[in-house]
């Protein structure tokens, strides 16, 4: 069974450094995070890069779609997935790799992501966890690399969540912690899934979610949440 850490730094330590950049991953390590969460999508020429939005505008100030930009023309701060893996290896950081495809490239992005992991993921790191809101991406990932663990990303647990998880062969459910009820947390845990919640930046909320059964908190402030959960462990 996949070993998940208690805390994952969302898009790196994104409260302290620009999200999904090498600087954010270094900052995550500096602040004690054992893993980071990253978003992977493809450039126009099919290179997997780490970027949340379809457009470069919000984070890089360039009004252009990633899907229409070749790797060579991307702003220098956008790391490739391969560069990111190499840094994670240096830093000793594990990773929740969210497959975040541009529209129409769902299956291709899932396949390329796991091909890259198979080629580049170092044995020195714990095995990664894939996740996606797009089941098509997870199914393509499963078909190409069934051995890499998968989690369904679900904004709100509702009827049919389990069928989704089973259809992609998931070991985990990653869900919006702000919308999760105690009963839903019990339902997910009793069904045997790892339960991760995003994006939780308040210590009190993190403690409640762990008490409800969450295995892992995905957060922009890993240092704060690590402290919050450490004090919980002592009580």
Residue ranges in contact with ligand G3P by CB under 6 A: 10, 37, 39, 52, 98, 131, 153, 174, 198-199, 218
Within 180-209, the residues that bind Mg ion by CB under 5 A are: none
Q: Is 202 helix (H, G, I), strand (E, B) or coil?
A: coil
Q: Is the Cβ of residue 139 or residue 218 nearer to ligand G3P in the bound state?
A: 218
Backbone phi and psi for residue 56, each to the nearest 5 degrees, phi listed first: -85, 0
DSSP H or E stretch at residue 39: strand 35-42
Q: Is the Cβ of residue 134 or residue 233 nearer to ligand G3P in the bound state?
A: 134
Q: Whole-number minimum distance, CB 174 to ligand G3P, in Å? A: 6
> Catalytic residue positions?
10, 52
* Distance (Å, whole) CA 152 – CA 160: 12
Which partner in Mg ion, ligand G3P, none is near 174 (CB below 5 to 8 A by kind)? ligand G3P
Contact of 96 with 153, CB cutoff 8 Å: no
Q: Whole-number minimum distance, CB 199 to Mg ion, in Å? A: 8
* Distance (Å, whole) CA 189 – CA 132: 19
Question: Residues 39, 215, 220, 223: which binds Mg ion (CB under 5 A)?
Answer: 39
Q: Is 192 helix (H, G, I), strand (E, B) or coil?
A: coil
Residues that bind Mg ion (CB under 5 A): 39, 98
């Amino acid at each position: 069974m996949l070993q998940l850490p208690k805390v994952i730094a969302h898009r790196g330590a994104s409260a302290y450094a620009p999200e999904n950049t090498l600087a954010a991953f270094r900052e995550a390590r500096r602040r004690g995070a054992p893993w980071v969460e990253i978003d992977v999508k493809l450039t126009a020429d099919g290179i997997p890069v780490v970027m949340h939005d379809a457009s470069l505008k919000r984070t890089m100030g360039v009004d252009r779609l990633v899907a229409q930009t070749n790797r060579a023309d991307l702003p220098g701060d956008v790391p490739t997935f391969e560069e990111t893996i190499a840094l994670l290896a240096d830093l000793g950081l594990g990773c929740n790799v969210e497959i975040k495809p541009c529209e129409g490239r769902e299956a291709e992005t899932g396949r390329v992501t796991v091909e890259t992991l198979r080629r580049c993921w170092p044995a020195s790191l714990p095995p990664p966890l894939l996740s996606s809101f797009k089941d098509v991406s997870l199914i393509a990932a499963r078909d190409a690399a069934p051995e890499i663990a998968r989690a369904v990303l679900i904004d709100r647990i509702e009827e049919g969540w389990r069928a989704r998880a089973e259809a992609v062969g998931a070991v985990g459910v990653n869900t919006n912690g702000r919308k999760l009820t105690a009963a839903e947390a019990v339902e997910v845990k009793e069904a045997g899934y790892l339960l991760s919640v995003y994006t939780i930046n308040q210590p009190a909320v993190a403690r409640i979610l762990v008490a409800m059964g969450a295995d892992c908190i995905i957060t922009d402030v890993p240092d704060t949440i690590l402290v919050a959960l450490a004090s919980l462990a002592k009580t």
